[in-house]
Chains A and B, each alone.
Chain A
Amino acid sequence: MALLDRHAASRDAYQAIRKASADPFSVRFDSVISPTEGVIAGQRTILLGTNNYLGLTFDSDCIEDSVRAVRERGTGTTGSRIANGSYDGHLALETALKAYYARRHAMVFTTGYQANLGVLSSLVGRDDHLLLDADSHASIYDGARMGHAEVTRFRHNDPEDLYKRLRRLKDAPGEKLIVVEGIYSMVGDVAPLKEIVAVKREMGAYLLVDEAHSMGVLGATGRGLAEEAGVEADVDVIVGTFSKSLGSVGGFVVSDMEGFDVMRVVCRPYMFTASLPPAVVASTVTALRKVQETPALRHKLHANAKHLYDGLTNLGLSTGPNCSPIVAVTMPDQAVAIGMWNALLQNGVYLNLALPPATPDNRPLLRSSVSAAHTPEQIERVLEVMEKVAREFGVLKDEPKRALA
């Protein structure tokens, strides 16, 4: 058996998709010209699947600070912080995160994936228990797998099910760490955090919230779901990313836990990888300031999300349970999902094709993520294209319910 033969099933599935369409997993942009527009195969295309929630990737201050940092500090750090030391930017970013979250400790990772990998593999160990929401992101599952704690899943967004599973572990030795996400990345649903906190308190567990998709999006100052739900004091650890609302790359963790800094010498995904380059750190610090100084960005984002969510729902498409900047439409089957995804792209709309098992309940999805930088005209254009394409594929049978503009 050749080494890659073990992936034969994945290879065959991938080939079948590529035969039916343009390859949805390696879209090539000729250029990206703004947070909401790119050029694909010579055609101007609306970007509706890039998690660029606040549109800060082209913010002029972020760009200027990034350019200055690369001139003054160079293109890369060429190593990890434990070997090559920290730059002033790394410390400034951690200080800014501590201030923003009002927490005693902050640690920056090179990617959001590594933040979860690092925290979940080192915060708990042998005899401890991780309780993961069943729909957790791959980075959470991988972090759990890398560590030595016992791993239990609970039913998605179901605090009673979490309670039941913690009750079964009542007499087991070790600590329990519950892991949930602020906004779930596939359909944009939000964790019932108040109820989860109540279970955590009653059962004496710790709670980690991954705010990757909710930072800059939820809460009065954009700190995420914990802020919005008013339960920050009960959340022991917050993990997040710079690659969505903050428009760069990297991950972080903040906590008030006594002695948290020991993580810097035990957490392998922090220790054994090159640290973030100065240019990335600089734009991230500026973007974090913008999130705090510009609540209007969040208001615009939510107005755009509502525009798209209501529009798609009123067309009669099957959208998620609540309106959020992630708007997913459930497809009847994979062939229609792939066909519609291609037709949307040909009509100048780029969004994400999400296929099982990366999706809940084994359903294919067309997943959009809205940006504060989208114009109302762009969202209207998306709704027009979506209606036309959905009708062509027989996904919409009724007459449109949408009022004529």
Chain B
Amino acid sequence: MDLITNPTVLEVARAAEVVLGRSVHVTAASDISRDLAVDSLALMNIVMELEDRFDISIPIDRLSEVQTVGDLSSLIDNIRNKA
């Protein structure tokens, strides 16, 4: 298994575990819907969890560009860098 070094990817994994109530193994390349079996509602709940972890606002209209865990973590990094 790939070693995850990106701290944002790790936080995405933790948020997914809180929302899904099960352990998840992810890399930046993991497809959120296919590999994590996350539906659109669960993804929005994961985003809510991440908003609280980073104390930022992640507009859900931006999720259309998110397919992988790496996409989501880049979106978060972009928002944090702008803040």
A152 and B41: CB pair below 8 A?
Answer: no
B45 and A165: CB pair below 8 A?
Answer: no
B60 and A151: CB pair below 8 A?
Answer: yes
Interface size class of B (residues with CB under 8 A): 10 to 19
A151 and B51: CB pair below 8 A?
Answer: no
Among A129, A169, A357, contact of B39 (Cβ-Cβ < 8 Å): A357
Does A194 belong to the interface (CB within 8 Å)?
Answer: no
- Which residue in chain B gives the minimum CB-CB distance to A165? B57
Among A144, A155, A168, contact of B56 (Cβ-Cβ < 8 Å): A168
By the criterion of a CB under 8 Å from any partner CB, how many residues of chain A are at the interface?
17
Q: Which residues of A contact B57 (CB under 8 A)?
A: 150, 152, 165, 168-169, 172
A153 and B61: CB pair below 8 A?
Answer: no
Q: From DSSP, what is the main secondary structure of chain A's interface residues?
A: mixed
Q: Which residues of B contact A152 (CB under 8 A)?
A: 51, 57, 59-60
Does B67 belong to the interface (CB within 8 Å)?
Answer: no
Does A145 belong to the interface (CB within 8 Å)?
Answer: yes
A199 to chain B, nearest CB (A): 16
Q: Which residues of B contact A383 (CB under 8 A)?
A: none
- Which residue in chain A gives the minimum CB-CB distance to B54? A168
Q: Which residues of B contact A357 (CB under 8 A)?
A: 39-42
Q: Which of B46-83 contact A (CB under 8 A)?
A: 47-48, 51-52, 55-57, 59-62
Interface-centre pick from B39, B42, B47, B61 (highest chain A CB count, 10 A)? B61
A150 and B55: CB pair below 8 A?
Answer: no
A151 and B45: CB pair below 8 A?
Answer: no
Does B44 belong to the interface (CB within 8 Å)?
Answer: yes
Does A39 belong to the interface (CB within 8 Å)?
Answer: no
B53 to chain A, nearest CB (A): 12
A151 and B40: CB pair below 8 A?
Answer: no
Known pairs A165-B51, A168-B51, A357-B39; A134 contacts B61 (CB<8 A): no
A34 to chain B, nearest CB (A): 37
A153 and B41: CB pair below 8 A?
Answer: no
B25 to chain A, nearest CB (A): 21
Q: Which residues of A contact B56 (CB under 8 A)?
A: 168
Q: Which residues of A contact B44 (CB under 8 A)?
A: 134, 153
Q: Which residues of A contact B59 (CB under 8 A)?
A: 129, 150-152
| A291 CA to B12 CA, complexed, in Å | 50
A117 to chain B, nearest CB (A): 15
A144 and B51: CB pair below 8 A?
Answer: no
Q: Which residues of A contact B42 (CB under 8 A)?
A: 357
Residues 132-154 of chain A, each 1 if its beta carbon lies under 8 Å from chain B, else 0: 00100000000011000111110
B61 and A144: CB pair below 8 A?
Answer: yes
Among B39, B40, B48, B55, contact of A153 (Cβ-Cβ < 8 Å): B48
B40 and A134: CB pair below 8 A?
Answer: no
Q: Which residues of B contact A151 (CB under 8 A)?
A: 59-61
- Which residue in chain B gives the minimum CB-CB distance to A358? B41
* Chain B interfacial positions (CB closer than 8 Å to A): 39-42, 44-45, 47-48, 51-52, 55-57, 59-62
Q: Can you report 25 A-B residue pairs in the complex whose CB atoms are below 8 A from each other?
A: A129-B59, A134-B44, A134-B45, A134-B48, A144-B61, A145-B61, A149-B61, A150-B59, A150-B62, A151-B59, A151-B61, A152-B57, A153-B60, A155-B48, A164-B52, A165-B51, A165-B57, A168-B51, A168-B55, A168-B56, A169-B57, A172-B57, A356-B41, A357-B40, A357-B41
In order of increasing CB-CB distance, the 6 nearest A-B pairs are: A150-B59, A357-B41, A168-B57, A151-B60, A151-B61, A151-B59
